[in-house]
A and B are shown apart, each in its own frame.
Chain A
């Protein structure tokens, strides 16, 4: 069953079209992350789903009911905001029960729901406090509590972790993911952080320029990006995109980078033989020469090293691959110096080819 269906959704502000025909089918129980750079329309889309904004055209269906003209309170949704949006003058208890109060839910039922959520999120000791007396993480938790208490069909999260410091963000990320595993409600989660998208989502919709670039599970998004934008947006450092020519060597199609470097791409389409392509290669597919990828013998290339950035767990190496700048990730104990010529093992199983004009994935 689809928990949320978005059909041909357009949104125009005057002459500016910020959503250009969005189509999404979100399954019940999925954790869908809408990810994209700022201005891509993801927050507008979420607001339209919530009913806080109206679409110029198109349909929103929540649990098989068209809700285009249904006000937010009757859509059976709950939302967590970036700024938490806790009511400053109310206690945590009042913040959580305000929605039920608005709905005229009887006192005993309110108390029961409050107790359930407070226990789930460990909010019991905080119930009498005001938001100003809470830390960032606690506020975040109260905001979640306010959403959870509704027991809605659909949870909407609008960049809920952006205001937290790095350490807390990682903690809360895990907490939200576990929460989803426990309660299983459908979640639509907006973020600009591709790490959040990769770590939490069961499905990712990458948005750019008011369009969904790709809607798939995280593994597909990461390994088979639909186009150059998705390839470079997901992953840090981003996928290397190098200009190459598609040629056949010994009967196997190769992406020829020049200067004697060519990488086999068996799946390359016949139609592009002899033509320019964009080769996509993840930084982790360029490693120290001792590395083995699967059973195959590694392909070793030599390339001048421009810069090294040790992170402790690994070292980022900027190199010139056939004159083109690329980033590799090597083991931290590898001896590599800027200015030297280094040898690198290439994982040829995960290469992507893109059309240079359309920027779409070829193979």
Chain B
């Protein structure tokens, strides 16, 4: 006999399992040989644990005529994601602080315009960015992508930080102003030290979003400048005698690893930070 709760638990487990099936398939295929997959099915338990797939995917596989594996592209992604995450988070914190704790004429309008960016579809921004990158001479560079992600991320980070900072009492600001602290001193000495919960949220959000971003990567970069998400496509379409499913799956796992680690270690703080207030 099932109790109601038991039934719900079973359903939840089933749903979770269904959701995890693609990941399991990828993980299993990442340690199967290409022959094994080609002769059998995409779904199956590895007969032989081909961990070498990972080594090949990382540093040996040929993508677009170079045979250095995905390592250079992972490095590209890191070189884009880390600075863009830091810049967008810091700028978002300052912007959120300005619109939440400093009342000035038109502050609501500015906040409204900044957060409009949250709702603009990516595709709509492609052509403007193309023009900007061209005019700045940043086409097909990592710096160009860092700039795009820093600017676009600002919408989210400013929104998150602003909402969080609203819980900082105005009296704290008044006390600091009477003490003689200005805009940036209050930010560095009082607001930023209260910010770790929301900064964890924005860093995780930005890191995951930028690492996984595909459209800009594939549109604005080619060849050796591509981030890993764009390079994976090149890898999937690279011509070989036998489709290298095993190696490709290993590459997918490696590409997804950073964000999965961020989720594993930071997920708790993410949920906690979203619901936290700044003081108490």
Chain A residues with CB under 8 Å of chain B are: 47, 50, 52, 71-73, 77-79, 81-83, 85-90, 98-99, 102-103, 132, 146
Contact = CB atoms under 8 A, between A and B. Distances in A.
Contacts of B181: 98, 102
Interface in B151-194: 169, 171-172, 174-181, 185, 189-190, 193-194
B228 to A, nearest CB: 38
Nearest to A71: B177
Among B169, B180, B185, B189, the one with the most A-chain Cβ atoms within 10 Å of its Cβ is B180
A146 B178 CA distance: 11
Contacts of A72: 174, 177-178
18 contacts: A52-B178, A73-B178, A81-B174, A83-B171, A85-B171, A85-B175, A86-B175, A87-B176, A88-B279, A89-B190, A89-B193, A90-B190, A98-B179, A98-B181, A98-B189, A99-B179, A102-B181, A146-B179
B194 A79 contact: no
A245 B172 CA distance: 54
A81 B190 contact: no
A89 B181 CA distance: 16
A73 B194 contact: no
6 A-B pairs with the lowest CB-CB distances in the bound complex, closest first? A89-B193, A73-B180, A99-B179, A102-B180, A85-B175, A85-B171
A65 B155 CA distance: 45
A78 B179 CA distance: 8
A85 B193 contact: no
Contacts of A79: 174-175, 178
B178 A89 contact: no
A87 B178 contact: no
A136 to B, nearest CB: 13
Contacts of A90: 189-190, 193
Contacts of A132: 280
A98 B178 CA distance: 11
A89 B180 contact: no
A87 B169 contact: no
Contacts of B175: 79, 81, 85-87, 146
Contacts of B171: 81-83, 85
A40 B280 CA distance: 30
Contacts of A81: 171, 174-175
Among B177, B179, B190, B280, the one with the most A-chain Cβ atoms within 10 Å of its Cβ is B179
Contact of A102 (B169, B185, B193): B185
A103 B178 contact: no
A87 B192 CA distance: 12
Nearest to B168: A88
A85 B174 contact: yes
A73 B174 contact: no
A83 B169 contact: yes
Given A85-B169, A85-B172, A52 B180 contact: no
Contacts of B179: 73, 98-99, 102, 146
A132 B280 CA distance: 7
A188 to B, nearest CB: 14
A163 to B, nearest CB: 11
A50 B190 contact: no
Interface in B235-270: none
A47 B175 CA distance: 11
Nearest to A83: B171
A87 B190 contact: yes
B159 to A, nearest CB: 23
A47 B177 CA distance: 12
Contacts of A146: 175, 179
A103 B180 contact: yes
A50 B177 CA distance: 10
B174 A99 contact: no
A73 B175 CA distance: 10
A132 B194 CA distance: 13
Contacts of B193: 88-90
Nearest to A99: B179
Given A73-B179, A82-B171, 13 more contacts: A72-B178, A73-B180, A79-B175, A81-B171, A83-B171, A85-B171, A85-B172, A87-B172, A87-B176, A89-B190, A102-B179, A103-B180, A146-B179
